Amino acid sequence: MRNSSHIAMKIAAGLVAFGMFAPVASAEDDARAILKSMSDYLAKQPTFSAKFDSDIEVLTTDLQKIQFTSSGWIAVRRPDKLHAIRTGGYADVEMVFDGRQLVIHARNAKLYAQMDASGSIDELIAKLESQGYAFPGADLLFSNVYDELNAGVLDAKHIGSGVVNGVQCEHLAFRNSETDWQLWVRTGAEPIPCKYVITSKEVAGAPQYTLTINDWSSNVSDKFSFVPPAGVKKVDAKALPSTDEVPEGVSK
């Protein structure tokens, strides 16, 4: 197709141009310093909330890349309160954590499960990941984002400036053995994450996970408690339908 060829030529030209300017933009110390400033700023926020959009790519058996899109909202009160909602084409899920128990509410199925999960948000994330509930954007919720993201980094670059949803950002790029990942951090006195992209290097076609953060606020009035809506049934966690962003039966 003519348009596809034209786009491919533009990409190739962009790669050549980036190769010419990359040495100037590859200040590793700057990249790590900006990441550290973001981590320190987030750690100092006792509460925050944000809206987000996420895109996750999968490769089908016939090597076609398909993208699944969701939107959501999250509120955090450190060290042990979290409330999140994510709605996509295949799952509409709510998660409420009060420091003692975790509720997962499959809103479209009108089912919820409650489980003991005493501890901090950091401990909750680790527990969920050990049980197969990993979600990439959770990296940004840790109490020390720098240590979590910087672990295993083999290469760091400060690419330069970027604009996300009209907000001026510093564009950072990092590499580790399994993934390449990029981060756009707001410039100025509030270095919050605005966009986060993870590219898998271990899967054919290098699928990506993209998280774009909108409407950041430090004011949170959430009670971090769950009251089952009328008609919603409590079940064992194993009886909940899939709450993944990707429909069941599609490999990631």
In tens, the pLDDT along 86-127 reads 999 989 999 999 999 999 999 999 999 999 999 999 999 999
Paired sense of beta strands 111-116 and 233-234, if any: parallel
In tens, the pLDDT along 190-213 reads 999 999 999 999 888 899 999 999
- Mean pLDDT score of the chain, rounded to an integer? 89
With cut-offs at 50, 70 and 90, classify the pLDDT of residue 251: low
- Per the listing, tokens 């959501």 go with 72
pTM listed for this prediction: 0.88
Half-sphere exposure of 226 (CA within 13 A, CB side): 28
With cut-offs at 50, 70 and 90, classify the pLDDT of residue 5: very low
Domains, the chain, with CATH or none = 26-239 (2.50.20.10)
